Amino acid sequence: MKLKSLFGSLVLLATVASQSLTAYGTDSYGGDYGNYGDNFGGGYAGDCCNPCEAPCGGNWDCCDGTAYDAGKWSVSINGGVTPMWFERRGRTQEFTRNGPFFLQPIGHKLSRFNDLFDLPWNVGIELGYMLCDRVETFVDFDYTSAQGKRRTHGGSDEDLFTRHRFNHYRAYDFYLGSRYYLCPVFCSFTPFFGAKVGLVARNKIRTRTRREDSLLSESGSFTRFKSDTTISGGVHLGVNYDFSCNIAVTLKAEAVWTGDWRPATANEGENAVSTLTPLVFYGKTGPILSVPVTLGLRYTF
């Protein structure tokens, strides 16, 4: 009887202890121990690739999308440098009016962009909209500027040469584009790539030119490139570093092609008295390739 009573007491004690532990687990953690995986986003062996904690709370959904939600807007302010190259360097001919026509022309290939201007800098603003958690469409406004340089060209006669001082290069860009966001890397880095197309408006480029020979010297201001608006488009890739669900720093590199820059081929000496003012045929630039590299701040709302 004593053994039977002791066994019954142990069974009763085990039952009470089991019920107490179950109640404690449910009240303290919002569920029993068997739901650990569900309470933590599916568990480490579930359908999430990366259990890192996102800045907004929860986990990055690196299997099915990025940290950006569909329907969100973003505003970005960007700035950087924009190296440029002429795809074609046509030949420029400057014919003086000393002696027979076409005598001793100053001929040379069009200088490289970086020989005519300093390294351009740019600043811009972008407005984006997330169509889904990976695809964003955007509009982009940019301003690009570069200080002009001095160039000297000589002719077949050692005593005949021209010196040019170029004014500022300025361009205003407008683009429509789209980009695709890839899987986040190390929780906070979100790489992307995309494309855009739009228009570029460029200012007129004038030069302060001085021409000299052994007898005469003169200077004047002439138009080298006409102001124009042309089509432009390109591709880009970059990465966002997400400080939080609203703020990110963006590093981006682009390759953008812009239409020909129209040279101002004209008889610059038609109203001049001096015999040094020439008839000038400026070389063509062909399409212009630019490679903007920018750093920006992105705010999402």
Task: Assess whether pLDDT exceeds 70 at residue 216.
Answer: no
Phi (first) and psi of residue 157, to 5 degrees? -90, 125
CB proximity list for 223: less than 8 A, separation 6 or greater: 204, 205, 206, 264, 266
Asked if 209 and 219 touch (Cβ cutoff 8 Å), the reply is yes
Quote the mean pLDDT of the chain: 74
Write the pLDDT tens digit of every residue in 170-215.
999 999 999 999 988 888 899 999 999 999 999 998 877 776 665 6
Write the pLDDT tens digit of every residue in 138-181.
999 999 999 988 776 655 444 556 677 888 999 999 999 999 99
pTM for this model (two decimals): 0.68
Where residue 97 falls among pLDDT bands split at 50, 70, 90?
A: low
Task: State the average pLDDT over residues 245-270.
Answer: 81
Query: Could you tell me the fold of the domain covering 71-300?
Result: Porin (2.40.160)
Q: What residue ranges do the domains of the chain occupy?
A: 71-300
Long-range contacts of 264-272 (CB under 8 A, 24+ apart): 264/222, 264/223, 264/224, 264/225, 264/226, 266/223, 268/220, 268/222, 269/97, 272/220
Task: State the average pLDDT over residues 95-100.
Answer: 52
